[in-house]
Structure formats: structure tokens, C-alpha cells
Structure 1
Amino acid sequence: GGGGGGGGGGNTSHCAALTHIQDCLNLAFSTLDPISDRQNAPPAHTGYRVHIHMQRSFASNERTASSSSSSPSSYFVPTLSYWCFIPGMAFRRLSAYRLRSIILTSGTLSPLSTFARELYVPFPIRLENPHVIQNDQVWVGVVPVGPNGRRLCSKYDMRSDANYQDDLGNLVIHFSKTVPDGLLVFFPSYAVMAEIIDRWKTNAGSMASFAALRPSFSNSGDSNSHLSSLSTWDRISRNKFPVVEPRESSEFPAAIEEFRNRLGEGSKGNQERRDEGSNGPSSSSNGAVFFAVCRGKVSEGLDFSDRAGRAVIVTGIPFAMAKDSKVLLKKEVLDQEARTQQAQIVNCSNSNKGNNNSMSNSNNMSNSNNTNNNNNKNYHAGNHTHVTSPQPNSTSSSSSSSSS
């Protein structure tokens, strides 16, 4: 019985794998169709690329960086990818539904001209609105150095530098003291966030030099000996409750609820306010700090209004690596598209020149015929007939005769 059950599970797994392969093949062969409805449009597969690479995969029982464990375990698996670099393919499928109108809206569509061109869909009606936030409602600045004077540069070759990580932590400590309520800290990627937080949890002892160099950043009651026994993570936790964005989507609702509860805005915080008969935050809360990732679940689509987001720290812009496979292949597709458009322009120009030459030859022939016809044309004036016959390189002569 047990063996039969295992066999059944294996068959189900094999069927699922075959179904996945079938879906992949169907998608690949569907790219033989034209990329758009315009005449002589190239096949869609010109915007796709096949790529084989080792993809990092995380264990299913991974734990977030907010737990006591170290970085989540991971392994690499060989992966065959068929990447689409033409976003218009998704909109091309929408056209099959014969939709009356498509409304596309977002806060990050600029520039609209290139965005619309890549979607291969005409947008006759376009609207760009000014930002709803006034200049006096927000301050944006660059912090070039940390409290210890270390340069805060998040370039790829400096992200793993311990001095940078420690001084970045010192800056977060300072902000967690001075900024009320909710504080958001964004990292370029999950890997960078996990590495830096691991460093903050294990760098006890580095805080002594921090207190000596910048005593104004420490509490008046803290001694250097006490600071030396605390890690950066401990110091942050004393000021605000830390919450870390999890990788798994299933764990995200609990994380965001914990953050709002610490601010007195979640379900638990609302219950505490009702119990205390107050409209303010919970008396037991010093606020919270949410460590998240750019382009992650926190940065896309969530509203951190008022107390939930009093300050935002962005530790680095997540530019794609110049040598990343997707970046190189995307550039290749764009270069190919540019060459195709240039060739079409040249062909169109040559075609127009050919048409103009044909028209010119036709006009010359027409003019020649008209000249010959005019040279042999009789002009009647009264009772006199004048016949003109021009001679080359000479003045035209005329003869006249009278007739009754």
C-alpha cells in the first residue's frame, strides 16, 4: 500500500513536470507569430533569447533575517530560460479579447513616449499629472558620510566592507532615536540586506569607538563599557522594534501587521487604544523600523502614510549590474531593433528616391512630347497661318503667306 502511494505521488509529479514542459513549448512556438498587426511585422521570437544559467534557489524552510538564525540556506540549480524582452507581448494577447479600452496607470511611467512604443499599443489619450506632495511637505537629501566619518557608498565593491556596514548601522541608530513613529530602511537586494543585518547582529564591541567619536549620538546614561557589549542590532532594537521584510509572500502579511501593531495602527494596536480609551499610539510602543528591499513587496503598492513613514532611508539604488545576463541581452535586443528601424528608414528613403526619379523621367518625357507637339502646332490668327519651326542654336525664322 505504501509503495503504491509513493508510485502515485511520483506519477503525479511526473505529470506536473510534463505539463510544465508542454506549457513552455507552447509559449516558445507561439512566438512564431508576428509581434504586432502592422504590415511586415517581424516574428515575436526576435525579442526573445534562450539562456542557460545557474539559478540560486532557497530552501523551503528558510527563515528571515529577523530570526536568530544566520543567512537562509540556498543552492544553485541549472536553469534553461526563454526570456522575453518585448513587454508588448502581454498587450498583444490582450488584443485577442477585443477590449474596447485599456487604461494603464502608474506613478512611474515616464517617459510615456518610449513606454508606449515598447508596448506596441497606440495610446491616443495620455495624461501626466503633477505630484500631489508639495515641496514644503518633504525633504530629500544625500548623507555622504556616517557618524564616524566613513563614506557611505553602496557600490558593489564596497557593500561588504565592515567599516561601511558599521557606520551605516550607526546612522540608522541615530535616525531611530530622532525620528518618531515609523522608519523605513531600504536595501538594494535581499542578499545585501541579509549580509548587513547579520553584521549588525554580531559586531558587538565596535560601538565603543562610535560612542567615543560621536558622544552626542549616544544616550547620556550609557557608558562606553555598556556600549561595547551591545551590537548595532541591539542598539536599534532599544529605540525601535525592528521588522524585516521576508522573502516568502506568505510571511509578509504577518510582518506588516507586526509593524503596524508597534505603531498602534494594526488590529492589536487598535485594541490597545480602545482598552486605554485613547486615540494616540500605544503607550508601550516606541515605534518601529521596517527593513525592506527596493522593488520588493514593501516598496511596491503599500501606503505608509502619516505615522507609518516619518522618514525613509535608501541605502543604495538597485541598478542592474552592467554585466548581468538580462542587461546584456536586453541591450542586444534594443540594438537589433534600432538597426532594423534604421534599415527600414534607408529602404524607405531609397524607395522615395526611386519614385522621384521615375516621376522626373516621366515628366521629362512628357515635356519632350509637349515640345514636339508645340513645334508642329499651327497657330491660326485671322486669315494668316503662322508655322513656327525653331532651329537649333539660331533664331527662329518664320514665313508667311496670304490666302484668300
Structure 2
Amino acid sequence: FGTRTHKQIKQIAHELKRTQYSSTPMTVLSSRDHSCVHPEVAPHANRNERCKDLREGKDGRCHFYHNVHRMRDQWTLQGTHGLNQAWDIEELVSVGKRIRACAYYASRELMQTANIVFCPYNYLLDPLIRESMEINLEGQILVLDEAHNIEDCARESASYSLDQRSLNLCKEELESMISVKIRRAQHEPLRNFCYSLIKYVQDSLMSERGFESASKVWSGREVVAIFRTLGITPDTLSLLKNLAAVMEREEQVKEETVELPTISSASSTLLKSLFMVLDYLYRSDGSFADDYRVALQRSYTWSNQAPPDVPDANGFIVRRHRHRNTRVKMEVLSLSFWCLNPAVAFSDLNGRVHSIVLTSGTLSPMGSFSSELGVNFTVQLEANHVINKSQVWVGTVGAGPQGRKLHATFQHTETYAFQDEVGELLLHVCGAVSKGVLCFLPSYKMLEKLRDRWVNTGLWEKMESLKTVIAEPRRGPKGDFDELLQCYYDAIKSTGHRDGALLIAVCRGKVSEGLDFTDDNARAVVTIGIPFPNIKDLQVELKMKYNDQHCKTRGLLSGNRWYEIQAYRALNQALGRCIRHKNDWGALVLVDERYKNNPNKYITGLSKWVRQLVHHHDRTRTEAGPTRSPGLRSPERSSVRSILTNAPQHQNPPVQSATLTIILLNIYSFYFPDLKNDDKPPKTPVANANVQQVYPIFESSPVNPNFRKPIFKVKDNNSLPSVDINAKPSTSTIEDKMDTATDTVKIQNGGLTEVDGAEPQVQVSDDDDETIFFTPELFEGDENEGQESPQKVRDVTAIEEEREGEEEEEREGKERESKRRRLSRSKHKNNPATQGSIDSTSLVLNVRVNPLHDPGVLISLLCL
């Protein structure tokens, strides 16, 4: 049973414990990072190397390793140590620490008698890890959970990248072995191979003019021909056997007291990986050669270095002052062997295993898996979601509280206007939603820009006054991330002055997949934009071209279609963090105007259960609220009610006093169907228009009885009528106003019934298709931090020309609109007839309700 992360393995083991098979023999395979219990190895940076030294050194006696027999069989583990039900790796490590036995090797020993073996699925796909962990898949039943990542994992398992520095170190280590005459017959061919590869890389640099700003790419066939010139042919793959001889310590060497030096684990891994790639390239008379591209890239990174110490005339080094470290620009040359076809790595499984089962909530379109993996899946199932439609609210938002359009493409996200509008919208959601809120961004680069902007403008502090705000770290030790995650959970359970927590994360990051945010841990998920891969990334570009080249002959998706699906699988995974079981409930907010402007293009990529519930919203208003801003720390924040309540599922909440807000008319008919007309709050005359401080919120038609407050307002077909603030209150009842509702749902017995199908009907123009279209201007992918990304040697594509043309048209349109507005304002100012008038297109009039009817309540009317 393979899944993506160890967190998911822990969840699976927990579910197995709840079944009647909880006592079945099992084991969990993991790395030393998760299972080593030795006090000297666990804190070490290179645990593999340190473990090897302790086990095989001259004095090397790892007592934990030699105590594996205490916990290496299922009966001892269940009967003696109390693991009589399904367990996770943390429980095994706890037992290992208690009895001073190695949990890492114990889990491998337990594999011999286990009926179920849990592991990350790269243990099953990567040939080097399979060999290292001694995993035999012959005749096994293979279950791969979270299989939407299988394609990427399979390509990565058959790929390898190295830099020139690592290759030079490997060559130097081999030369040192030869110089001291240690297994010279095995080391010399390997040294010569490294030397030839380094020389070819240097020759390529000399032959390519202007290589400083470019990359060079070879096809798999070209690389095979290059390696033939280096003396590497299918007949010389015996180097693999020589490598194995170098890596294996002979038994008599272990018994002797003399310690022989060996090459490092890093150099060993480099050579093994290179030969693994060569094995794929030469396999079956080069049938996989067309599936590879090899790229030589030059980039730069900055490092802190102290100036060198220079001796004086007498040879002494005197440091009068403490030197400051200087930032030095260093060149990085990388050689990447990229496999563009996941079927290459999957070919090791196909035909050997008994059955393969792929499971995921975001496999659609499932047809692509058969073509990409090269396996014919005869049985396919696409099930409905286990929840009721009333348990989730799904809406798209095209504009923020200030009315600015939210179009999260690269050129728009760089503007302060976009960043501020997103911040205000997120502040809104924090004030309306209780407990946990998750916000997902397309890239770490955008997260850093938004955080810096919000800190400078004070928005971050306002969010922190409402909720504990945590941002996903880009790098750092695993322990630091686990600590931040625990802070998030603790803040949600806390009963302090802040209501829950806000976790800002990144699609395809640590939070978006593999973590379980059940119940209050995620009552709302907000996604900003669409997480398209970086179209400027060389590997993405090569994969798209590869798919275009083979889409007809192999049945692959086209490059454009593949590019779109990568974005929506990441987006659907992020949306799935909210609803985790059949009784869970929450809200999904998709922020981008593209969803509403062209639903046939952007909604079709969403999961089926999300797509059926989407409502589009393109404007907001300021709703009644307390006279003090919720951004301030004050006890009055209790008046900011949550949209989400802890009311029992599928039950209408009790009648609430209408002293806080005036909402849409049909809200009352939905929430309080038994309330008589004369009991409903009457229309109150408006008093003097005293402007008061208000906070923004959204409004909508109701979708879920668990949502006490509306969120967004469905767009009306016609413009709003003008409002006469001096008119007498209307005596019409709420039922009289229901005919004007434009939502797609009707009220029936306090529930919801759909009208004319589950999805809103959308007119499709002649140019629109029911599929996802390629949108080259949408790239929010992250760039490499701290280094300059190499540019590709290629002509300007039609995609870039089209994007530049659209940007030019947009700039010209903005300039014309700006000139028209300045001219209009000038005429308006100089016209005496307009003195004292109000610009009706942007007026928000704040008035106070008659205190005789409802004292202290503040409403806001939008006048058009």
C-alpha cells in the first residue's frame, strides 16, 4: 500500500485499526529520518553515512542494530510489546527507544511475514530504493493512494540531475582510492567515466556561444550517441557490476581490525543513479531513448564567503579586525536527465504485479492515466461525494470588497491594488468564519509578496487581531513545520480573544496534500487564482512539446491539455482539505474573475462534486455591523457572527433577533419558514444619513442551513434600482418580493431543490468549447530562489506574442479610460448645475435605522 507521505500512512494505519483486520501482520517502511532511534545518528545531518560508520567501523558496534531480534517478528511485537493492533511508525519508534532496538531495520525484517506493507509510493516506483529496501513486487497486489501524483512520481523516479561540483567530488574520491591502491581494478573504470563526462560538459560550454544566458538540450537518441563516443555502450554496462563490487564490503574485511576507506554515500548514489538512467536509455534496444531529454543548464547562486587569509612576509597570518562575509556570485552547472514518459518507470511494475489499484479524489480525467502510465485499467469507478449538498457552500468571487477586479495572472498579482484587495477579502472571511480558515496561493513567491505587503500596510496586524495567522514555510527542518502546524491546531482549540486561526499555504506545498483538516480545523478554504505550472520552466516546456509530438501515436493528452490538468489537480486537492468525512461541513471560496467570465473554460476542470454546487458572485457590499472595526482588539468583536455555526447537521438554526443586519429577503423564507409575516422584522424608515464606521462582508442566497449569514450576492441580470431615502417604508411582505429572486434554487419545506438541472445554464459562444482551453498568459509558477533561471535557446513562440499583444491592448485601453475620466471630472467640476451633486456610480451611503424601531443598528445602502 503506497501513498505520498508518512502523514497519510499514519491516517491509513488509524483507519485499519478501526476494522476487523486490525490485528493482521503489517509493517511500515520509512527512511532513517523517521525511524532511527540512535542518539548519535538521529540529530546527524547525514544519517545514512553515520549509520554506516557505526555498523561497520573498526569499533563499530551499534547496539540498537544488534538488538533488532527483540522486535523483528510479528508475534513478539504483538504479544510482548503491546502492538497487537495496526500501528504507525511513531509507535514502532517508541517501542524501539524503550527496548533499545533499531526500528528502521526492524520494520524491514517485519516485511518478511507482513500481509500489508505500508510505504511512500516512491519506494515502489524508484528502482534504486526498491533495491536498497529489498522490495520484491512479484505477484503482489499494489494499491496506490493519492494516485493523482503517480505520473509525476514515476517521471521523477526515472530521472536524475547532478551538478558539476558533485561530479568533480566523485572523481576526486575515486582518484584517492586509486592512489592508495584500494580495489584499483574496480575504481579506475569509474574514474575514467567521470573524467570523460566532465570533459564533455566543459567542451559543450566552449562550443556554445552565449551559454551564460541559455541552456542546451539533447534528445535521448543524441545522448546515446554521445555516450558511445565516451565508451559507454550496452556491452560496457558491466560497470554496474563494478560499482556494486566497490559498494559491497567483503566479509573478510569486516572481520579484520583494519578499516579500509570507501567512497562516500553521495558519490555512490551519484554513480548508481547515472547507471540507472543509462540502463533505461539502453533497455530493449533503446526503446525508451525517445522518452528522455538531457539538459545542460547554467545558473548562478549567491553565497557568503569570508575573504581569504593572506600571510605576511614572515609567513604569519595576523587578523587585526574581524572580516565581514561578502556575498559571492557562484556559477552552477547542472546536467539533468529528464524522463518525460511515466510509463518508463511504471514498466518495471506492469506485468510483474498481480493487480494495480489507483485511488484518489482527483483522478479525473481517468483516461489520461492509461495512456501516460502505459497500463490498461479495465475497471474504473467514479463515485459521488458522501456529503449532502446542504453541507457545503461553493462560490466564486470576481471582485474584492473595494470593487476591484481580481484576475490572478502574473501581471496583475504584481500590483499593490490586487495585493490590497486580496488582503481585504481575506480579512473579511476571517471576520465571518469561525475557527479554522485555509488560504491557498499559487506559489511561494506570491505568498512572500503578499505577506510583505500586508505587514507594511497593517492588514497583517488586523488579521492577527481576529485569528492567529500562520504562513507555510518554504524551507526549513521538518520539525519547524510540525511545530507551526501544532500552533494552528492549538489556536483553533483556544478560547481566547481570537477566534481560531488562518493558515496561508501554497498549492502543491506541504499543507495542500496529505494533511487532514477535519471539522473546526477547516471551516473555509479560500483559493487565490489557479495554480498553473510555470510555463517558463524548461522541464514543463519540454513535457508539453513531448505530449504534442506523441499525442496521436500513443494516445497521450496534448501538451496544452496536460498543462491545464496539472493546475486543476493541484486546485482540487487544496479544495478537498475542507470536507473530510460525511458529517463535515464548510465553505469553498474560489477567488478569480475568470471563473465567472468563462465558466466553460475554467469550471470544467474542477471536481464533479464541486462543479455541481458553484455559484458565481462578482460584487460585494458593506453590511450592517458594529460601529467599531473588527480589525481592532475589542470585546465588541463578539457581535461579528460567523457564517458557519455549530448547529446540528440538516437542521434549521433557531430564530435570531434581527438587530445586527438587514439581509436578502429570501434569507428569512429559507431559514425561518414557520415565521409569520407579522412576526418578521418590519421595514423601518431611514433616519438622517450619519456616516458611521462599517466593516465589509459579502451576501448571497442561502445554500446551507449551517450558514447563518450570507456570504456573496448572486449577480442580478438588471442593474439595481435607485433608492429614495425619504420614501415611506414599504408594507409588502417578504413573500411578495420572492418573485424577483434570481438565484437558481427555490425554497421548499426549509430545504433546497434544484431548478432545471444541477448546474447553471451558460450560453456557449461559437468560439467556446466544453473542454479546458490553453491559456498561455496564466502562469503563476514559482521561480528558483537565489539563482537566475537560465533562459532557453529558442525563438519567440506564438504564446509569448499573443500575451504581449494582449498586454499592449490592455494598457492602451486603460490610458483611454483614464483620459476619459479626467475629462469627465473636469466638465463636472466646472458645471454650475452639478455643484453639490453626488457621483451616483460610486456612492455608498451610510445611514442609521430609526432608533425607535431598532436602536444602534447600522446599515449600508448601495445607490446606483
Give yes or no for contact 1:185–1:290 (8 Å, CA) kept in 2. yes
C-alpha deviation, 1:200, in angstroms: 0.8
Distance 1:124 1:24, change over 3 A: same
> Identity of counterpart residues, as a percentage?
37
Q: Which deviates more, 184-193 or 131-140?
A: 131-140
Per the alignment, residue 46 of structure 1 pairs with 290
Tell me how far 1:93 sits from its aligned partner.
2.2
Q: Verify the 8 A CA contact 2:440 2:526 in the aligned structure 1.
A: yes
User: CA separation in 2, counterparts of 1:58 and 1:339?
Assistant: 45
Query: 1:42 Cα shift?
Result: 6.5
3-state SS in 2 of match to 1:140: strand
The answer to whether structure 1 residue 317 and structure 2 residue 530 are counterparts is yes
| Residue number in structure 1 paired with 2:336 | 81
> Against the structure 1 CA distance between its residues 309 and 339, is the aligned structure 2 distance closer, same or farther, given a 3 Å change threshold?
closer
Deviation of 1:124 (Å):
2.1
- Provide the C-alpha distance between the structure 1 equivalents of 2:483 and 2:298, rounded to a whole number of angstroms: 32
Classify 1:59/1:197 alpha carbon distance in 2 versus 1 (closer, same or farther; 3 Å): farther
* Alignment pair present for 1:238 and 2:238: no
Contact 1:188 1:293 in 2 (8 A): yes
Q: How many residue pairs end up in the alignment?
A: 272
TM-score by length of 1: 0.61
Partner of 1:335: 548
- Quick one: which amino acid aligns to residue 500 of structure 2? G
SS at match of 2:413: coil
Deviations, residues 136-191 of structure 1 (Å, cap 9, x unaligned): 22122121111122221210111110111011111111111111000111110111
> Counterpart of 2:485?
256
Task: Tell me the distance in 1 between the aligned counterparts of 2:334 and 2:469.
Answer: 36
Which of 102, 108, 113 pairs up with 2:362?
108
TM normalised by structure 2 equals: 0.29
Q: What is the one-letter code of the residue matched to 1:313?
A: V
Residue 517 of structure 2: SS of its match in structure 1?
coil
Please state which structure has a larger fraction of its residues in helix. 1
Following TM superposition, by how much is the alpha carbon of 1:34 offset from its aligned partner in structure 2, in angstroms? 5.1
SS at match of 2:297: strand
Alignment of 1:298 onto 2:511? yes
Structure of larger gyration radius: 1
CA distance in 2, matches of 1:332, 1:21: 29
1:49-60 → structure 2 map (5 Å cutoff): 49-53=293-297
Distance 1:58 1:297, change over 3 A: farther
Spell out structure 1 runs of 4+ moving beyond 4 A. Answer: 10-14, 54-60, 339-342
Contact 2:466 2:498 in 1 (8 A): no
Q: CA deviation at 1:79?
A: 2.3
Residue in 2 that maps onto 1:26: 275
Give the C-alpha shift of residue 76 in structure 1.
7.8
Instruction: Output one character per residue of 1:77-120: Cα deviation in whole Å (capped at 9) or x when no partner.
Output: 43221111111223222248x32222211111111122122111
1:307 aligned residue (474, 498, 520) = 520
Task: Go from structure 1 to structure 2 and tell me whether the alpha carbon gap of 1:129 and 1:340 turns closer, same or farther (over 3 Å shift).
Answer: closer
Matches within 5 A, 1:258-273: 258-264=487-493
Cα distance in 1 between the residues matched to 2:489 and 2:301: 31
**1:284: Cα distance to partner?**
5.2
Q: Which residue of 2 aligns with 1:181?
A: 435
Letter of the 1:292 partner, please give it.
A
Q: Mind listing any 5+ residue stretches in structure 1 that lack a counterpart? A: 1-9, 36-40, 61-73, 204-230, 265-280, 343-404
Residue 133 to residue 291, structure 1, CA distance change in 2 (3 Å): same
Distance 1:157-1:309 versus aligned 2 partners, 3 A rule? same
Q: Secondary structure at the match of 2:440?
A: strand
Q: Which residue in 1 is equivalent to 2:346? A: 91
CA contact (8 A) 2:297 2:335 kept: yes
1:197-208 alignment runs, 5 A limit: 197-203=451-457
In terms of mean alpha carbon deviation, does 238-247 or 248-257 score higher?
248-257
After TM superposition, the structure 1 = structure 2 runs for residues 139-178 of structure 1, keeping only pairs within 5 Å, are: 139-178=393-432
Using the alignment, how far apart are the partners of 1:57 and 1:13 within structure 2? 31
TM-aligned CA distance change 1:90 to 1:183, over 3 Å = same
Q: In structure 1, the residue corresponding to 2:451 is in which secondary structure?
A: helix
* Structure 1 residue 22 displacement after superposition: 1.0
